[in-house]
Structure 1
């Protein structure tokens, strides 16, 4: 047996041993939750009207290569399915003093609204998962030593969802919904309404 074949055999046996040990579950194993209850740290007053919400899904195809090393030995390619939602809101608290003007005869209201904004994407962890993964031998051995870090996939997914929300009709719909809601409310109070948007 050549020296290279001997080294490869040792790596394979070592990986198999780590895998078998990781799969071993003692009989009668139980999980005990000794976590402390959640504690309220702060409260904020909100003036945002969440006027529209979009559900998005993206499939990430991320490949990490190691220079000068064959992919069979090192590197990985991952297909990650991410699902999440993005809210569009109008910050009514940012309306300036001249943003709401009532006519002297108190029959007409001129309302100037700020433009809608996008909230941070809310990734649905229960519907986001690794669909497939191809790894080199070294990466396989590292994965046996502990669960792989998937944080980078979630960060990349949030960026993709945010970009998709920008390209969608979400902001326009939020602007429209806010205008319709406030117009209806003020008309029910007997005002004629003129809505402007910055």
Structure 2
């Protein structure tokens, strides 16, 4: 049979006693390529355990002086405040009213189903309005005293209502409904000032309620009592306070 037959072995074991040595190939690793993977997983697991232990030590206060390398940090890049103007105020705030209004505002399109185009907001607004007397508007000759300095007459400008101050910490949106196209529009181009219309309406309603609440009359009475007590302590026995038309 020829030597290059496919059935002939490519190598032979040495004959016993011939003095030749046969070195067997080293055995393959039992885990194959899983050995490095297991090592990497072990390292990651140990690191995770270390992070949990460090965080737990800091939380429980076992080591109060320990500095957590994974502590949360906050960076404040706020610009310093810019002074725009300074105004001297000479107003006496004589009364303040606190109001709450429920605004139910809906914007939709005629002959279009609400599930397509609709925007309805139910908003509870809380705000305050001050009633004050502007002492800077007291003109010359507004204070007249008697010859014996026992009586005094003062003419004051009528009380005014200040701007409505909407308290956003106490105001909140109860419910909001939006149509499908409205929601798609928010995804494409949102409107950060969408709630401004609701805020303005709440301020307008509170301002109207303050005008009808008798807040100005309360401010007149409180200012009168304040000045009467002050002037009587200075020796005036008769104090007359009148208010001019606004």
The answer, yes or no, to whether TM exceeds 0.5 is yes
Q: Is the counterpart of residue 167 in structure 1 residue 215 in structure 2?
A: no
Partner of 2:14: none
CA change 1:63–1:121 in 2 (3 A) is same
Query: What is the rounded CA distance, in whole Å, between the counterparts of 1:175 and 1:169 in structure 2?
Result: 10
TM-score, reference length from structure 2: 0.65
1:123 to 151, 154, 166: 166
Mark the runs of 5 or more structure 2 residues left unpaired by the alignment. Answer: 1-71
* SS of residue paired to 2:175: strand
Per residue, is there more strand in 1 or in 2? Answer: 1
Partner of 1:76: 119
Partner of 1:96: 139
Query: What is the rounded CA distance, in whole Å, between the counterparts of 1:91 and 1:53 in structure 2?
Result: 15
Query: What is the rounded CA distance, in whole Å, between the counterparts of 2:210 and 2:218 in structure 1?
Result: 12
Cα deviation, 1:23-80, whole Å, max 9, x if unaligned, reads xxxxxx9874312121222111111000000110000011101122111111111111
Q: Single out whichever of 37-46 and 155-164 deviates more from structure 2.
A: 37-46
Per residue, is there more helix in 1 or in 2? Answer: 1
Q: How many residues align?
A: 171
Query: What is the rounded CA distance, in whole Å, between the counterparts of 1:139 and 1:43 in structure 2?
Result: 43
Structure number with bigger Rg: 2
TM-score, reference length from structure 1: 0.80
Greater relative CO (CA pairs within 8 A, separation 6+): 1
Partner of 2:105: 62
